[in-house]
Amino acid sequence: VFQLSVPLNFLGSVYRELRQSLLDMETLFNLQKVNVAIKEKPDAKALQLTKGGEIRFENVDFGYYPDRPILRNLSVTIPAGKKVAVVGPSGCGKSTLLRLLFRSYDTQSGRIFIDDQDIRDVSLDSLRRSIGVVPQDTPLFNDTVFLNIHYGNLAATPEQVHEAARRAHIHDKIESWPHGYETKVGERGLMISGGEKQRLAVSRLILKDPPLLFFDEATSALDTHTEQTLMANINEILRDKARTSVFVAHRLRTIYDADLIIVLKEGSVVETGTHRELLERGGLYSELWTAQELSMREEEEKEEKEKVT
Ligand code: ATP
């Protein structure tokens, strides 16, 4: 009995280590450069989403280098259960906001609260488990499609994995590959398109079912069709459950229906409101919108002309 129980225990610990390393990989991949200097307090408690995920930035200052401030005295509240967009000129600190929320970095001064709990007081695991991220470039492991989705929730059954893929509109595609869910993807696996990669990420997210959802729109333009399908998928996920979602957006057309739009400039909030309110205000958002619409129209006209000739 003794001899048998040793290898079984050993296997159990390998499994736990594997699970842990998968979670670490998630941390690593979700928002890239995770800072090892981020430590949790010895008395850290699990994050309790008592209000449904209200996020509050209070006088936040942050820079990747102390002498180069990126966020300056930033204060803003993201209401629980709403779809919120963060927009602004390139480099103004939009993605940085998400990295701070995930505690890839800590603020230099000021505080960030989720449901009135300072995120530095809660356990890292509970914080990161509550957050689902669709990053700009979806990382895939050099492993099977199945595992790449499954790791969104390692307790999920194969049926739940398939159901998640179905809801992300990628199940049929997976089944059409010669090895189905056992197909190897990632750098050394099957080449799949950017859109398919993102749909795998969405499947993973559906399985994880996080109360907080962050979406970092890719700077490099996806084609319009892929973009629209992806947004439709994400809106579908958002519909069946109230959850706080924060969209960092470059193309304003993808977020004009947000409940709240936060406009950043040089690391501070300059305007907040709905699309309509911000257009009426005639400030930075309205300038960005007009410029984007103009260049979109020029693009469309050019495409039309090319079709005719
Ligand atoms: P974009 O619209 O171009 O994606 P953004 O508003 O999301 O930009 P951030 O990615 O938050 O901007 O970057 C804000 C500033 O911080 C930029 O000047 C960027 O070069 C700098 N920065 C971002 N990440 C790092 C990093 N890991 N180390 C040092 N500087 C960084």
pLDDT by position in tens, the chain (length 309): 344 444 444 444 444 445 544 444 455 444 444 455 788 899 999 999 999 999 999 999 999 998 899 999 999 999 999 999 999 998 999 999 999 999 989 999 999 999 999 999 999 989 988 998 877 777 778 889 999 999 888 899 999 999 999 988 899 999 999 899 999 887 766 778 777 887 888 888 889 889 999 888 765 555 666 667 777 777 777 677 788 999 998 889 888 899 999 999 999 999 999 999 999 999 999 999 999 999 888 888 887 888 776
How crowded is residue 145: how many other Cβ atoms within 10 Å of its Cβ? 28
ipTM here: 0.96
Calculate how far, in angstroms, residue 270's C-alpha sits from the geometric centre of ligand 1. Answer: 18
Q: Does the beta carbon of 104 lie inside 6 Å of ligand 1? A: no
Q: Is the CB of 91 under 6 A from ligand 1?
A: yes
Q: Rounded to an integer, what distance in angstroms lies between the CA atom of residue 113 and that of residue 26?
A: 23
Give 14 Cα–ligand 1 centroid separation in angstroms.
Answer: 38
Query: CB neighbours of 7 closer than 8 A, spacing ≥ 6?
Result: none
Cα–Cα distance, 15 to 19 (Å, whole number): 6
With a CB cutoff of 8 Å and minimum separation 6, the contacts of 19 are 154
Question: Is the beta carbon of 99 within 6 A of some atom in ligand 1?
Answer: no
Q: Is 282 in the pocket of ligand 1 (CB under 6 A)?
A: no
